[in-house]
Structure 1
Amino acid sequence: MDVTTRLARRIKDLREAQGWTLDALAERSGVSRSNISLIERGRSSPTATVLDKLSAALGVTLASLFEAPAAAAAPPSPLARVADQPLWTDPASGYVRRNVSPALPSPIQLVDVRFPAGRRVAYEQAARDDEVHQQVWMIDGVMTLTVGGAAWRLEPGDCLAMTLDAPMVFHNPGAREARYLVALARRPRPGVRRSS
């Protein structure tokens, strides 16, 4: 299954599992109903910013949107072969992300990112039911990450930890591609009721 079809099915499955209409997801995410409809039919390649808005509204991480749809998934394997890891390119910035983690239920997800020189992606970080913690470990190149009002320049070997609860900007100020690993972990917030 190609990544556009995988995204389309996964977003639709998650929306329907909530019992939401397209209008309800549009209202919760700030993404237009028509855009969501195009995405769910595999006729639009959403940007990273749009996927982040949808994932926040659906109560999952962005990386979770690349998991195989429940109806199509065989029993999950503890091994994720590189050839089977979903690879996606953001049409706006050209950054390429590979979901590395196996499709097992796990509070941890790993994502390998290649980010083109001079490019930037901004995330609004809508409220989520769960606390999502993220660490970015630089493998090659340089990146500037701005989280809320704080900015950090990351070079190979550097690792930055943050909670996904503030606007973030990823920027590659270098003259060549940057590569980094993102580790995400979810933790339920105390006292937050889960939507069904």
Structure 2
Amino acid sequence: MQEISQYLADTLRQLRTDRGWSLDRAATECGVSKAMLGQIERGESSPTVATLWKIASGFGTSLSSFIEPPPAEQRGVTLRSADTLRQRPAADAMLIAPLFPFDARYGFELFELTLLPGYERLSEPHSEGVVEHVIVVRGVMELLVRGVWQQLKEGEAVRFAADQPHGYRNAGTQPAVFHDLIYYPPQSR
């Protein structure tokens, strides 16, 4: 967890420096308090996934850019294992394995997400044109799209415009595991 916090802190600080933004400006752009951003940069706070999304959206970047650096490629091949990547990068009860962090060549990032029993997260709209593809790998989950919660079982998939409010929840007693491929159109990065 310490490595993740330090990577997040360094990435946030570097993005601010690259843009020449003060903490005040970053807070305004992200919709996250200046105090919270300062705590994250100092490694004193573990934000929720929702807060990480706000920060990523405010900077016009991907969520995965705050979790880990792009993976190494060997002769055009990238091999990843969810078991070795799975982590809890935020303060809430969601495990995240960034299978393929965002790469501008492809325009997407791919996560394996695990919702622990009782977990619910409501997500604010992402940037215009962002589309999510959710595929349930194990268990049962619910997805909020266009104001309606719909149940998804193992093997079921849905694609939706993520530039509107949406959410994920696990009302069951077993973890729900799904893959989430998030596509970013060129103008939203």
For these two proteins, the number of residue pairs brought into alignment is 183
Counterpart of 2:179? 181
Give secondary structure in 2 for the equivalent of 1:112.
Answer: strand
Counterpart of 1:52? 53
CA distance in 1, matches of 2:101, 2:62: 15
Residues 49, 39 of structure 1: alpha-carbon distance in 2 compared, 3 angstrom cutoff: same
What is the correspondence of 1:83-102 to structure 2 with a 5 Å cutoff? 85=85, 87-92=87-92, 94-101=93-100
CA distance in 1, matches of 2:101, 2:29: 29
CA distance in 1, matches of 2:7, 2:138: 29
Q: Does the aligned pair in 1 maintain the 2:108–2:182 contact within 8 Å?
A: yes
Percentage of pairs with the same residue: 27
Counterpart of 2:124? 124
Counterpart of 1:156? 154
CA distance in 1, matches of 2:150, 2:102: 32
Residues 102, 49 of structure 1: alpha-carbon distance in 2 compared, 3 angstrom cutoff: closer
Shift of 1:125: 1.9
Q: Does the aligned pair in 1 maintain the 2:39–2:45 contact within 8 Å?
A: yes
1:172 is the counterpart of 2:170: yes
Shift of 1:61: 2.2
Shift of 1:103: 6.8
Residues 153, 103 of structure 1: alpha-carbon distance in 2 compared, 3 angstrom cutoff: closer
Runs (5+) with no aligned partner, structure 1: none
Give secondary structure in 2 for the equivalent of 1:10.
Answer: helix
Shift of 1:149: 1.5
Q: What is the Cα-based RMSD across aligned positions, in Å?
A: 2.4
Deviations 1:9-63 (A, max 9, x none): 1122222222211110101111110100111121110101111110110101222
Runs (5+) with no aligned partner, structure 2: none
Give secondary structure in 2 for the equivalent of 1:131.
Answer: coil
1:19 is the counterpart of 2:17: no
TM-score after normalising by structure 2: 0.86
CA distance in 1, matches of 2:116, 2:35: 30
Shift of 1:87: 2.6
Give secondary structure in 2 for the equivalent of 1:11.
Answer: helix
1:29 is the counterpart of 2:55: no
Q: Does the aligned pair in 2 maintain the 1:76–1:103 contact within 8 Å?
A: no
